[in-house]
Structure 1
Amino acid sequence: MLSKAKELKADLLLLSVAIAWGVTFLMVQDAINTTPVYSFLFFRFSLATIIMFFISYKFLKKINLKTVFYGIILGIFLFSAFATQTFGLTYTPSSIVAFITGLNVIFVPFLTFLFFKDKIKSNVLIATFIAVIGLYLLTMSGSLSFEKGEFLTLICAVLFALQIIFTGKFSKEVNVFLLVLFQLITVSILSLIFSLFLDNVTFNIPYDFAFFKAVIITAIFATVYAFLIQTYMQQFTTATKTAIIFTMEPVSAAIFAYLTANEILTITQFFGAILIILATLVAEIKFLNISNR
């Protein structure tokens, strides 16, 4: 059984990850206006890999095939999610992509049950559906259909769900620092390959202030910090609660954009954000007897 104190601490730190992703969203958006997506991912994850190498240096003697394999699996899930999301954006408005990507919150509990027969607590299941409604109100600004872009983004949501689920499982079996290191190495290599084949340029890009600012800040906070905290803290909480907490990313992005970029936050979006916050609280409060079984 998980210690309640450790689980709460893990959930709060995972919340800081969601906030880090949300706060850096605008920064990334500005950077990819002038830098191809996969090129940017290559620079971001390469710098993150270098930083993570020095952080995990003292554990390098513990490298084994299992750790490398697990890291590669997580890296493939993570990069494939980024790739399908990027392709989805070429066919579908970003608001719809944001909503469908967030549906990983509903895939996680059912995929966890499918793969590992983990029981879904009633309060967490309720929180999942509250989060989906909140995501819809916060992110949707177009009509939802099921065409090529939506299909690609749905795959993206499943891949993000798998990354969350298997991070929780793998982090209990191998060294967390090395697991993150090999995950980042995998994403860096795949980003470089995709950039060389799909981007117009990979290295001949404008190395301006916006680029360096985005690469450095996202590498440190939205990559090294985020994935190290996610991987370490998922040892003490469930994959489903992690997915619910991560729905706070678009909430923090919307609030940050409102405060710093004068973006409008409508009443509907505000209500959606409130529902997502409520969902994270419901996931923590075991108000039904069945939740404790």
Structure 2
Amino acid sequence: MKAYIADLLMLLVTIFWGASYLFMDMGLHSLSEFNLIALRFGFAFIIVLPILFRRLRRIDLNILKYSFILGFILFLVFTLITFGLNTTTTSNAGFLISLTVVFVPLINTFILKRKLESKIIISIVLSMIGIGFLTIQFPFHIKLGDLFCVMAALLYAAHIIIVSFAVKEVNPLNLGMLQLGFTGLIGLVFSLIFETPALPSTAKGWTAILALSILCSALGFILQIVAQKYTSATRTGLIFSLEPVFAALFGYLFINEVMSSGQFFGAFLVLFSIIFMSAGKNIRVFKLKRMQYKE
């Protein structure tokens, strides 16, 4: 495969991920939060199951342990996102979740006890200012959904860092597929406890679930694994930084979300901080692992 084809595949995956916020918002009109997570990841796991069956000999207790831990974190991430979308826009969610790209090197710096490099400090400051323009409204208040999305970005950063350790011990492809199953299973358990699980009752609900399962999770995951072998980490990181842009675009085109001039400026600062970070070696681990484990 030529590098430009791999880049186009990564761009397609990024479009899927940008659209995922719109599909989650659509699904929440007919499904409860935990039910949506259970169906999305449950169907995605069923789709990749034929591939997983052929790789059963490579599955042991160690990979099951890591898969459960990562699946549980992923469940928390999407719980925060789905509940957050009840009180924030898909545009805000896309830009706030993308802060993962800033949180990963920041957490790694504290774990490794290294001094913060100037590039990290500049990116953090820019992103924090951008968050302020995106989320603070007057009279002064911040929507709970925005805070949920920032917390989700922080948790997903932790997910990425754990993955960076896990893939040194277990097969990455098996890990990625199994975590989908655990995420769906945990979502089903919580749905059974706190909700009444059900299949979508509307065409809109089915569209959302199938798109999330097939395009954003199962197909997106497979395309990542294939394309990552033929393009550079730097180019991939820059392509992935377009995800919040697509989230805002889909929100505008399909549900008429319009950002104010202040929010546009905040979105620009967040996006610029992400691209600024992605251009450096500090984000290399994140870009490689995000390709493998984005849902």
TM (norm. structure 2) is: 0.73
Which position in structure 2 is the counterpart of 1:253? 247
| Counterpart code for 1:127 | S
Give the SS at the match of 1:202.
coil
- For the pair 1:276 / 2:270, whether they are aligned, the reply is yes
Give the SS at the match of 1:56.
helix
Match of 1:217 among 211, 214, 223: 211
Which position in structure 2 is the counterpart of 1:192? 188
Which position in structure 2 is the counterpart of 1:264? 258
Judge conservation of contact 2:71–2:180 (CA < 8 Å) in 1: yes
Aligned-residue offset at 1:71:
1.1
Aligned-residue offset at 1:197:
1.1
User: What whole-Å deviation, never above 9, does each CA across 1:171-214 have from its counterpart, x for those lacking one?
Assistant: 34321221012111111111011111112x212x5432112211
Percentage identity across aligned positions?
Answer: 32
Aligned mates of 1:33, 1:52 — CA distance in 2: 27
Task: Name the Cα RMSD after superposition.
Answer: 4.0
- For the pair 1:69 / 2:65, whether they are aligned, the reply is yes
Aligned mates of 1:152, 1:24 — CA distance in 2: 17
Which position in structure 1 is the counterpart of 2:159? 163
Pair 262,154 (structure 1): closer, same or farther in 2 beyond 3 Å? closer
Match of 2:75 among 76, 79, 89: 79
Structure 1 runs not aligned, ≥5 long: 1-5, 288-293
Question: Bigger CA drift: 119-128 or 72-81?
Answer: 119-128
Pair 173,116 (structure 1): closer, same or farther in 2 beyond 3 Å? farther
Give the SS at the match of 1:94.
coil
Aligned-residue offset at 1:78:
0.8
- For the pair 1:107 / 2:107, whether they are aligned, the reply is no
| Number of residue pairs matched by the alignment | 273
Judge conservation of contact 2:24–2:82 (CA < 8 Å) in 1: no
| Counterpart code for 1:222 | C
Structure 2 runs not aligned, ≥5 long: 282-295
| Counterpart code for 2:127 | A
Judge conservation of contact 2:88–2:145 (CA < 8 Å) in 1: no
- For the pair 1:34 / 2:30, whether they are aligned, the reply is yes
Aligned mates of 1:223, 1:41 — CA distance in 2: 11
Which position in structure 2 is the counterpart of 1:3? none
User: What whole-Å deviation, never above 9, does each CA across 1:11-61 have from its counterpart, x for those lacking one?
Assistant: 997665443222132222122111111112111111100112223333222
Which position in structure 2 is the counterpart of 1:137? 133
Aligned mates of 1:115, 1:89 — CA distance in 2: 31
